[in-house]
């Protein structure tokens, strides 16, 4: 909204409809989703100093450090709690002593004590897909039952970023919870799968992005011999005979989508994947803190700019850290488009309930 004073026109800062907090905020993936959904972020927290620097560079505020040292009463009132919380193993205590004992010592407990004190109407959590099966399903059962004990109605699913506009097969667990028994449906896949060609700067031949000589040699070896057999066996004499690679050998094969996979040939271990090389016309594997996707056809790994795009961050997003730290931060982040989509659905469901009520 604009207003005029004398001969000058000014942009009035509008008050956002909701307030949110960003726990374990990293570099601000959830915050970008908040800003796209008319939510004012009133508190953020992350213990990593490098993530704090990136967050500050983009949002002009430094997140609070260790959440364990923050009292719930010191956090401003809010409507939405978001958290991509670290999944530390914790045991299932059989429901004998309540949620505090079941989750004590984990960072999930810090979410719980804030929810118990503030009782916000909406909660949005994210974690790795493995949380579903961790400890035989007991970890997830504890999380869900704890939210219910706190007065929430949780909804959860596993979704892939590949289904929401990003050329990355990144499957993550998402949970939305309300303090009312609200009807909620997660967003449906878009029905199209983008490819890396859409985000890659093909002309970027920066030397620091090049694959190692060993990697290049074995990629070339695969394509020189793949006409002889679909599954190419590589020289494993350089590996100690008592290691898996030395004992079972290393093999490569190309999938129909064009990606090139290397694996250790231990069939008893379902052929352990040793390396994954994407190409321009397929998707990337999940970008994680210690692994940047690589392309065999460009013979290099993705740059920081391309990795930002892989997670849905805008090109202008500032990363005032080393490339190594930037890639680590992006690997630890959430995928922006899917977070935006879920948050819009969450707020819409809440608003619809309030109107009907």
What's the pLDDT tens digit per position in 59-90?
999 999 988 899 999 999 999 999 998 754 43
* pLDDT value for 131: 86
Tokens of 35: 């800003």
- Neighbour order of strands in the sheet with 153-160: 39-45, 18-23, 80-83, 122-128, 171-178, 153-160
Distance in angstroms (rounded) separating the CA atoms of residues 223 and 228: 10
pLDDT tens digits, 278-323: 999 999 999 887 789 999 999 999 999 999 999 999 999 999 999 9
How many other C-beta atoms can be found within 10 angstroms of the C-beta atom of residue 241?
Answer: 9
pLDDT tens digits, 104-139: 447 888 999 999 999 999 999 999 888 888 878 888
pLDDT tens digits, 165-194: 999 999 999 999 999 999 999 999 999 889
Active site residue 324: no
Phi, psi of 262 (to 5 degrees): -115, 140
- Helix (H, G, I), strand (E, B), or coil: what is residue 110? helix
Burial class (CB in 10 A: 0-12, 13-18, 19+), 120: buried
Catalytic residue among 87, 112, 175, 279: 87
Nearest CA-CA partner of 319 in 79, 29, 54:
54
pTM for this entry: 0.86
* pLDDT value for 332: 92
- The pLDDT-based confidence of 357 (bands split at 50, 70, 90) is low
Distance in angstroms (rounded) separating the CA atoms of residues 311 and 330: 7
350-356: list long-range contacts, CB under 8 Å, 24+ apart. 350/121, 350/122, 350/178, 350/182, 353/178, 353/180, 353/182, 353/183
Phi, psi of 55 (to 5 degrees): -60, -45
How many other C-beta atoms can be found within 10 angstroms of the C-beta atom of residue 94?
Answer: 9
pLDDT tens digits, 228-265: 778 898 888 878 888 888 788 888 999 999 999 998 87
- Helix (H, G, I), strand (E, B), or coil: what is residue 256? coil
**What's the Rg (C-alpha) of the chain?**
23
Percentage, residues of the chain above pLDDT 90? 66
pLDDT tens digits, 102-113: 454 478 889 999
- Cβ contact 174:187 at 8 Å: no
Distance in angstroms (rounded) separating the CA atoms of residues 352 and 6: 42
- 3-state SS of 189-249 is CCCCCCCHHHCCCCCCCCHHHECCHHHHHHHHHHHHHCCCCCCEEECCCCCCCCCHHHHHC
321: Cβ–Cβ under 8 A, 6 or more apart, which residues?
50, 53, 54, 329
162: Cβ–Cβ under 8 A, 6 or more apart, which residues?
168, 169, 170, 193, 194, 283
- What does the mean pLDDT of the chain come to? 87
Helix, strand, coil percent content, the chain, rounded in steps of 5: 35, 20, 40
């Amino acid at each position: 909204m604009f207003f005029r004073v004398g001969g000058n026109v000014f942009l009035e800062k509008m008050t956002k409809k909701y307030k949110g907090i960003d726990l374990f905020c990293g570099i601000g993936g959830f915050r970008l989703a908040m800003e796209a959904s008319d939510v004012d972020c009133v508190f953020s927290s992350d213990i990593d100093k490098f993530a704090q620097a990136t967050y500050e560079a983009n949002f002009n505020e430094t997140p609070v450090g260790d959440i364990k040292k923050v009292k719930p009463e010191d956090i401003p009132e809010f409507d939405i709690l978001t958290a991509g919380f670290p999944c530390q193993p914790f045991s299932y205590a059989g429901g004998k002593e309540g949620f505090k004992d079941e989750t004590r010592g984990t960072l999930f407990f810090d979410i719980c004590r804030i929810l118990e004190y503030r009782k916000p109407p909406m909660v949005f959590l994210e974690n790795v897909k493995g949380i579903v099966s961790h400890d035989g399903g007991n970890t997830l059962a504890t999380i869900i039952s704890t939210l219910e004990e706190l007065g929430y109605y949780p909804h959860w699913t596993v979704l892939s970023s590949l289904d929401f506009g990003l050329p990355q097969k990144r499957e993550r667990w998402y949970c939305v919870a309300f303090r009312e028994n609200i009807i909620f449906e997660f967003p449906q896949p878009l029905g199209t799968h983008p490819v890396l060609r859409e985000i890659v700067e093909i002309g970027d031949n920066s030397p620091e992005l090049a694959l190692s000589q060993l990697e290049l040699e074995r990629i070339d070896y695969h394509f020189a011999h793949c006409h002889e057999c679909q599954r190419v066996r590589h020289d494993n004499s350089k590996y100690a005979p008592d290691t898996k690679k030395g004992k079972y050998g290393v093999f490569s094969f190309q999938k129909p989508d064009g990606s090139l996979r290397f694996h250790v040939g231990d069939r008893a271990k379902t052929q352990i994947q040793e390396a994954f090389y994407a190409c321009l016309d397929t998707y990337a594997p999940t970008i994680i803190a210690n692994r940047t996707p690589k392309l065999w056809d460009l013979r290099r790994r993705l740059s920081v700019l391309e990795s930002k795009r892989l997670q849905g961050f805008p090109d202008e997003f500032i990363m005032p850290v080393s490339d190594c730290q930037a890639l680590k931060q992006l690997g630890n982040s959430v995928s922006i488009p899917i977070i935006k989509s879920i948050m819009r659905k969450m707020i819409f469901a809440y608003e619809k309930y309030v109107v009907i009520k």
